[in-house]
C-alpha cells in the first residue's frame, strides 16, 4: 500500500510539473536585460519626477522608447541620461534644467490673519475645510506639506514670512512639492541662464480691489505688464498675469511697471540708478569773463645829445638874423 501511494504521488507530481512547465513557457513574460542595466545607472531616488512609478518604470520606458526625446531623470540630470544613452546606443536628449518656484508673495505683513486654525497642521486637510487664516483663499497656507514631501531637503517654510523657500542648489525638479501643494502655487520653471528667472508671484484670481484688500502684494490684473512686454510672453487670465518662461527674454521691463511688486526677478544684478534729471530753469547760464584790456605802453623818451642832434634852424632864429 505504501509503495502504491508513493508511486501515485510521484506520478501526480510529475504530471503537475509538466503542466507548470508548459504554462510557464506559454505565459512567459520576457524582460529585456537592459532594463536592469539602465535601472542600475539611475540614482535610485524613486521620486517620480520623471513621470513614471519609480526608477524601474523609467528604465523600462527608456528601453522601450525609440528615442530618449522627452525622457529625463531630474535627479541625475544630463550626466545620468548620458549613461543611459550609452547603454541603449542612443543619443542623449538635451533638456534645460528646471527648478521649483513658489508663486505666492503673501507674507505675514502683506496678508494679515483674520482667523486662527486649530486643526491638524496639514495643508491638504486645512484646504479641504476652509480657505485659510487670511482673506486670500488662493495663497499659501504655510503648514509645510511641500517641505515634508521633498526628499532632498530643498524647500523649507520661512517662519518670518510664513512662505516656503526653495534652495535651488538642492532642488532636483522632481515635482514632489508641486504635487503636495493643494493650492497649486508651486510650479516647475526653467532655471534660466545664470539661474535668472522672472515670474508672477501670485495666483489670486479675485478682481483688483478685492485682491489688493486681501494681500498688499497681490496681482491686481491691471495689464500694465502685458502691454509693456515686447515678446508677448505675458498673458492675463482670470484677473491674474502669467509669464511664459519659453517666451520670456528676461528684459525685466514688466518688473518695473508692476504697481504691487507681484513680479519677481531672481539672481539679477542690481539695477543701475538713473542720474537725477537736471532742471533747465534752475541752471544759471555762465557769463564768459571779458578779457583784460591791454595797457598802452608809455612812449620811450629818447634823449638827444648835441653831438647827435641834427642841425635845424627854427623860424625865430632866421628872423633874428
Would the annotation count 171 as a binding residue? Answer: yes
Would the annotation count 62 as a binding residue? Answer: no
Would the annotation count 248 as a binding residue? Answer: no
Would the annotation count 225 as a binding residue? Answer: no
CA within 13 Å, CB half, 5: 2
> Helix, strand or coil for residue 317?
helix
Give CA–CA dist 198/244, Å, rounded.
9
DSSP 8-state assignment for residue 100: E
- Per the CB < 8 A criterion, the answer to whether 96 and 188 are in contact is no
- Per the CB < 8 A criterion, the answer to whether 90 and 62 are in contact is no
Would the annotation count 146 as a binding residue? Answer: yes
Would the annotation count 219 as a binding residue? Answer: no
In this structure, what C-alpha cell is assigned to residue 6? Answer: 508513493
Would the annotation count 136 as a binding residue? Answer: yes
Would the annotation count 123 as a binding residue? Answer: no
In this structure, what C-alpha cell is assigned to residue 296? Answer: 598802452
* b/e per residue 97-134 (b: at least 16 CB within 10 A): bbbbbbbbbbbeebbeeeeebeeeeebeebbeeebbbb
Would the annotation count 215 as a binding residue? Answer: no
Give CA–CA dist 14/22, Å, rounded.
12
Would the annotation count 104 as a binding residue? Answer: no
Give CA–CA dist 114/139, Å, rounded.
14
Give CA–CA dist 285/290, Å, rounded.
15
The phi-psi region of residue 315 (left if phi > 0; otherwise alpha if psi is between -120 and 50; otherwise beta) is: alpha
Residue in this structure with the C-alpha cell 501526480, named with its chain if needed: 12
Would the annotation count 177 as a binding residue? Answer: yes
Number of Cβ within a 10 Å radius of residue 189? 19
Cα radius of gyration rounded to whole Å, the chain: 43
Annotated binding-site members for [4Fe-4S] cluster: 47, 50, 55, 73, 136, 140, 146, 150, 171, 174, 177, 181
Annotated binding-site members: 47, 50, 55, 73, 136, 140, 146, 150, 171, 174, 177, 181
Amino acid at each position: 500500500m505504501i509503495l502504491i501511494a508513493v508511486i501515485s504521488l510521484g506520478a501526480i507530481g510529475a504530471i503537475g510539473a509538466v503542466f507548470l512547465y508548459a504554462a510557464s513557457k506559454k505565459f512567459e513574460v520576457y524582460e529585456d536585460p537592459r532594463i536592469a542595466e539602465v535601472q542600475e545607472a539611475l540614482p535610485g531616488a524613486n521620486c517620480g519626477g520623471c513621470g513614471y512609478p519609480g526608477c524601474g518604470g523609467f528604465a523600462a520606458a527608456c528601453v522601450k522608447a525609440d528615442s530618449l526625446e522627452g525622457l529625463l531623470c531630474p535627479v541625475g540630470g544630463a550626466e545620468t541620461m548620458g549613461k543611459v544613452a550609452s547603454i541603449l546606443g542612443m543619443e542623449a536628449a538635451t533638456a534645460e534644467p528646471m527648478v521649483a518656484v513658489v508663486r505666492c508673495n503673501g507674507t505675514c505683513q502683506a496678508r494679515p490673519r483674520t482667523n486662527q486654525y486649530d486643526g491638524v497642521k496639514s495643508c491638504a486637510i486645512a484646504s479641504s475645510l476652509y480657505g485659510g487664516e487670511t482673506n486670500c483663499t488662493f495663497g499659501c497656507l504655510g503648514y509645510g506639506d511641500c517641505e515634508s514631501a521633498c526628499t532632498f531637503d530643498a524647500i523649507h517654510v520661512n517662519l518670518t514670512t510664513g512662505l516656503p523657500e526653495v534652495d535651488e542648489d538642492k532642488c532636483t525638479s522632481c515635482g514632489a512639492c508641486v504635487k503636495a501643494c493643494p493650492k497649486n502655487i508651486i510650479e516647475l520653471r526653467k532655471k534660466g541662464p545664470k539661474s535668472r528667472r522672472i515670474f508672477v508671484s501670485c495666483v489670486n484670481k479675485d478682481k483688483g480691489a478685492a485682491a489688493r484688500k486681501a494681500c498688499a502684494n497681490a496681482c491686481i490684473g491691471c495689464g500694465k505688464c502685458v502691454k509693456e512686454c515686447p515678446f508677448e510672453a505675458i498673458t492675463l487670465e482670470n484677473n491674474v498675469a502669467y509669464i511664459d518662461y519659453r517666451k520670456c527674454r528676461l528684459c525685466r521691463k514688466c518688473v518695473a511697471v508692476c504697481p504691487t511688486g507681484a513680479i519677481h526677478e531672481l539672481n539679477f544684478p542690481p539695477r543701475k540708478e538713473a542720474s537725477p534729471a537736471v532742471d533747465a530753469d534752475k541752471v544759471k547760464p555762465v557769463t564768459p569773463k571779458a578779457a583784460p584790456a591791454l595797457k598802452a605802453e608809455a612812449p620811450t623818451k629818447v634823449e638827444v645829445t648835441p653831438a647827435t642832434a641834427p642841425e635845424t634852424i627854427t623860424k625865430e632864429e632866421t628872423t633874428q638874423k
